[in-house]
Amino acid sequence: MSTDQAAAGPLAGIRVIELGGIGPGPFCGMILADLGAEVIRIDRPAEHGTRTRHPILHRGRRSVTLDLKNPVGAATALRLIDTADALIEGFRPGVTERLGLGPDVCQARNPRLVYGRMTGWGQDGPLAQEPGHDINYIAVAGALGAIGPADGDPVVPLNLVGDMGGGGMLLALGIAAALVSARTTGRGQVVDAAMTDGTAIQLALIHGLLASGRWTDRRASNLFDGGAPFYRTYRCADGLHLAVGSVEPQFYAALLDVIGLTDDPLFAAQHDTAAWPRMADGLGEVFATRTRDQWAAAFEGRGACVTPVLDFAEAAAHHHNAARGTTPPRGSPPARTRTPVPRHAVRHSGARPRDRQPHRGGPRGGRARRRHHGSSARAARRRRGPIGVMVPAPGTRPTWAVTVPEAAGARSRCASLGSVRAHGRG
């Protein structure tokens, strides 16, 4: 790997084809692009020439519009896949096989290909063909039923547990591991990532506690589910909240010291579960006497594991996040959107991550044409052939074409595709 490639990230030189989908698949593609991989997303014809609805999730890749139900479009996709190290698809089981793009076909042409499959229920099982969303997968995996108040309904934890953590993140890890294997064996693998399985593996600690008798299968009755008075949120005088995570004895002691309850006998036995409800009531009364920010200032630097609960805008402006550049506040360069933009989450020594926010490209945009004929496109052509170069298609209709190689290093030819869109590459 050259110095320039290393600076782009540990996956520089890796090409990934992403069959356009929603949620966890694009999240996986974003992670791999953030790590330096060249990700080319194949979008549906209905999305031709439009702005992406997910400018952050779709960052860092170029986009090709293809009708995969058309034999010409599917054949063109195969030629793109021939040049790839990995593929991401998030259709129901059997869909890519019916399109002629299944793993058997793709790996017969490209034996080193890592074929990543993202589903909710998995490739097999009684529910494999059933529709679903994050909430359904985490419900069946047991996670949703464990989150929420004891006397209330389960609380939806956004779509973080199934879609992102148990889905896209786990698929990215599986693809990265299979890429390492392919480098040593010369053979790719099929990576089956199911959100039900991914949710279940995230519950490894809880299942271990349950098996050892240290967890009760009842909401808000345990250490990490809001049952412990020292691991939950509290409402302050202004209606805002604090997050208290004073689990270890030294942090618990610091908590009591700041709020002036060190000598209160009610709080002497931290793990007396019978006293937890009364302890929570007592802490709630104390925290209700000041505003959130007053308490945050009181706990600053005290080592009690107490922090303010922030909204998205507040989180972007928080001094720690600002210092690390985690989520630049809205309107600040180099962000090109009005909302905070999460930066690359994993930071590698020697890498210089680029802010590759999506730009609109298309057949009418000279800017897109110049971008694809720029230095990054030339480097791509030298490496594997001219991918993403827009040229006029025959005929009078305002269609465009992309030049793709029949195979890595093979002679190039053109196929009418519709459009190439630049999603922040360059």
**Which of the following is catalytic: 133, 318, 348, 373?**
133
Q: Which residues pair with 61 in a beta bridge?
A: 39, 423
- The C-alpha atoms of residue 319 and residue 345 are separated, in whole angstroms, by 17
Please identify which residue in the block is written with the tokens 């008798």: 213
Q: Which residues pair with 305 in a beta bridge?
A: none
How crowded is residue 83: how many other Cβ atoms within 10 Å of its Cβ? 24
List Cα–Cα distances, 322 to 198, 319, 328, in angstroms: 31, 5, 7
Say how far apart CA 83 and CA 247 lie, in whole Å. 51
CA 182 to centroid of chain Cα atoms: 24
Kindly name the residue from 34, 82, 163, 197 that is annotated as catalytic: 163
Residue pair 400/390 in contact (Cβ under 8 Å)? The answer is yes
CA 23 to chain centre: 8
**Dihedral angle of Cα 27, 30, 34, 40, to the nearest 10 degrees:** 150
Tell me the CA distances in angstroms from 229 to 210, 215, 234, 235, 238, one per residue in order.
20, 16, 9, 13, 21
355 is catalytic: no
Q: Is 373 a catalytic residue?
A: no
Catalytic residues: 133, 163
